[in-house]
Structure 1
Amino acid sequence: MDAKKHINHSALSLLSFIAVVFVLYILKPFIVPILFAIIFSVMIFPIQRFLEKKWRCNRLFATLASLTTLFFLTALIFFLISTRLSYFMDNSEIYSQKLGELFHRSVNNLERTFNIGNNRLFSEQEYKAENIIKANLDKIGIVLSESSSLLGDMVLIPIYIFFFLYYRSFFRTFIYKAFRSKSKSFINSILKKVYEIQQNYLLGLIKVIIIVGCLNSLGLLLLGISNPFFFGFLAAFLLLIPYIGVIIGSLLPAIIALATKDSAWYAFGVIAIFGFIQFLEGNFITPKITGSKVSVNAFVVITSLVLFSMLWGITGMILALPITATLKILFDNTPGYEAYGFLIGEPVDKHLQSRARSRLKRWKGIRKAK
């Protein structure tokens, strides 16, 4: 009887999980703007609190002032990105022509090296490098343009942000009523942890973007790549997409290096510099700035990136880490779900040691105690 009950419970849990995923997929146009609004609300809440407590402003004025500050900063960033991307797309014809010439020279060198003779690797009629390169440059520009204007196209986000800030006490009271079985102190503790981990992630990410952007720009400047600060900070801004963003961000300056320099080694230099900076960012810069507050292990980060990208595309990849970090807090404080919180978190040293080494260490500890 217990086995049958366990099977029924597992089947019900599986069906519930499938239903939640289906709802999240169907309601993407509704859920994604709300999630972005929550994140931005956490970002600008210190401004709101400063205006309310230090300057004694009423809540309506403080909310409007905070929202206006966020709007101007966001508009400035996306204006700069769209302007430089437009310049890049206007010159894509020149870049594609130069890349096509480089491609044909490389093919001819291969043919001469391997004595291919009249049996050419590619014929100009069958394979027009310029057309293919031009088409891919256009696609890259379109993808980046859509990505950069993604938040700006969501007109509902500012409205949601306004109500999240202005009605925050009202929403907190709703949570109290929805979870009557939990004490207010417990709920306040959970909300504080969620707020702190989101704020720590956002502030840490801004600092990392500035540092990595300066390093990227310096590397491109030393190589003599055009528009070094734009491409350097664009690649840093794409750190919003963990692991994958740096790959996308290094492609554009590498293509520019191929098109404008007389040697392909400049493109390899761009990729090498960006790869080295990514190594520094992942192993030294981000851990030093954010510390252990956003404690999500690399396996779960990659898995969440894949799953959320399948669910919501590029926006899912941006939201993957904040959502996963929040889920860890909720799992850690929900009876019966602690194991899932443990799985999301960072493993400690003992989990990374071999069994023989762990036994040796334990035996040394027992011997020392004696």
Structure 2
Amino acid sequence: MHTLPLTVRRSIELMGLVILGFVIIQGQQIIMPLLMAFFMSIVLLPVYRFLVSKKIPRVLAIVMSLLVMIIVTVLIVLFISSQLKPVISDFPSIKENILKHIDSLSKWFSEKTGMSEDQQTDIVNQQSQKMLDSAGNVLGGAAGSVGSVLIFFGLLPIYTFLILYYKDILVKFIFLWFPKDHYAKVREVIHETESMIKSYLVGLLIQITYITILLGVALMLFGIQHALLIGVIFAILNLIPYIGALFGNIIGVLLTLSSSEELGPVLTVLIAIAVVQFLDNNILMPRIVGGKIKINALASLAGVFVGGALAGIPGMFLSLPLIAVFKIIFDRSEQFKQWGVLFGDELPGEKKKLKTAKK
């Protein structure tokens, strides 16, 4: 059988990546809910299979599984809302504290640079005017953003229901793409993908819970206001690899500054976050996920930025599990094996050293 030259195959792969990116950008309102529904359906599969094993009709089993997902989501939203109420009620004092911090920062900046407070005010006013000039574009897209969110969460349960209902057809569709002598490898990829996604997403739910408890309780013991809210926000933002933790730190500092006139609590928050993050990254999360996602830091970080550029926040959140799924497929394909190596965390020579050590 005639095979294409290597350079032609690589060119086709790169063109395929460009076309895939274009398709994701143009169809993200359809693709992102589908991908999220695919991951959610895999997480709900054990619940669905358990209910079916108890002789519950398939449709009712799927509906009950979806109800579990909806109840968990509603409880999380209610918990966050309950934590936001004190912040909203304390808004006058928060505004006063922020003004004091701005005044202190302005005086410090004047001492260091010699720039008067009036000059600083002029600069702030100029920048504010620029922000107001661009606000029209933001407000103009706000309705579209709200509409996109409503479409996303409206389609998510529908897609999840249909994927669970037609899962056997989808599996058969996958198998029909390959010759029968490859069925064992295809079955292995499907089982490993299912195991990885379940382990990863369930691990994220557990991660949100223990980070909220650890960070929230630690900050409460130190007398930090809005301690649980800081814990919840950091735990949720931490789901986005690398970038989320940075924004979690910033929001934690801002919430602390808004409720305190001193900088001591800010240092307490930063130290508490650093300790919890160390425990999470080095002890807790590796044991929970069990090393299922073996993606190197470069591929993870690049994936987050590319996912964000192509599909916004959903793209950033889904980037890591998607790369992990692709790696599982690439590792078992001779044609795309080099992509699996690029995404992996195994340095050249490590496997050889491991074998030598075992001997």
> What count of residue pairs does the alignment treat as equivalent?
343
Aligned counterpart, 2:135: none
Of the three residues 121, 126, 143, the one matched with 2:122 is 126
State the one-letter code of the partner of 2:75. L
CA drift of 1:161 comes to 0.6
CA distance in structure 2 between the aligned counterparts of 1:78 and 1:350, rounded to whole angstroms: 47
Aligned counterpart, 1:194: 193
Deviates more, 1:40-49 or 1:88-97: 88-97
Superposed CA offset, 1:286-326 (max 9, x none): 11221222111112111111111111111111001110110
Aligned counterpart, 1:329: 328
| Local SS of the residue matching 1:126 | helix
* Gap change, CA 1:25 and 1:152, over 3 Å in 2: closer
CA distance in structure 1 between the aligned counterparts of 2:181 and 2:273, rounded to whole angstroms: 49
CA drift of 1:183 comes to 4.1
Aligned counterpart, 1:64: 63
8 Å CA contact 1:225, 1:253 repeated in 2: no
CA drift of 1:26 comes to 1.0
| Local SS of the residue matching 1:170 | helix
| Local SS of the residue matching 1:240 | coil
State the one-letter code of the partner of 2:238. L
1:167-182 equivalences in 2 (<5 Å) = 167-182=166-181
8 Å CA contact 2:48, 2:65 repeated in 1: yes
Aligned counterpart, 1:212: 211
State the one-letter code of the partner of 1:43. V
| Local SS of the residue matching 2:291 | coil
Identity of aligned residues (%): 24
8 Å CA contact 2:234, 2:252 repeated in 1: no
CA drift of 1:279 comes to 2.1
State the one-letter code of the partner of 2:116. R
* Gap change, CA 1:5 and 1:352, over 3 Å in 2: closer
CA distance in structure 2 between the aligned counterparts of 1:244 and 1:213, rounded to whole angstroms: 18
Superposed CA offset, 1:88-125 (max 9, x none): 356555423321222212332554x5695xx6154475
Q: Flag structure 2 segments of 5+ consecutive residues without an equivalent.
A: 132-137
CA drift of 1:7 comes to 4.2
Deviates more, 1:244-253 or 1:61-70: 244-253
Structure 2 length-normalised TM = 0.83
CA distance in structure 2 between the aligned counterparts of 1:331 and 1:124, rounded to whole angstroms: 55
CA drift of 1:19 comes to 1.4
8 Å CA contact 1:24, 1:31 repeated in 2: yes
8 Å CA contact 2:175, 2:186 repeated in 1: yes
Aligned counterpart, 1:34: 34
CA drift of 1:259 comes to 2.3
Superposed CA offset, 1:198-241 (max 9, x none): 01111222222222221111221123222322221221122221
Superposed CA offset, 1:167-221 (max 9, x none): 1112222222232455443322211111000011112222222222211112211
* Gap change, CA 1:59 and 1:326, over 3 Å in 2: same
Structure with bigger gyration radius: 1
CA distance in structure 2 between the aligned counterparts of 1:30 and 1:114, rounded to whole angstroms: 52
CA distance in structure 2 between the aligned counterparts of 1:151 and 1:315, rounded to whole angstroms: 14
Answering whether residue 226 of structure 2 is matched by residue 227 of structure 1, we say: yes
8 Å CA contact 1:41, 1:165 repeated in 2: yes
Deviates more, 1:21-30 or 1:72-81: 72-81
CA distance in structure 1 between the aligned counterparts of 2:11 and 2:330, rounded to whole angstroms: 21
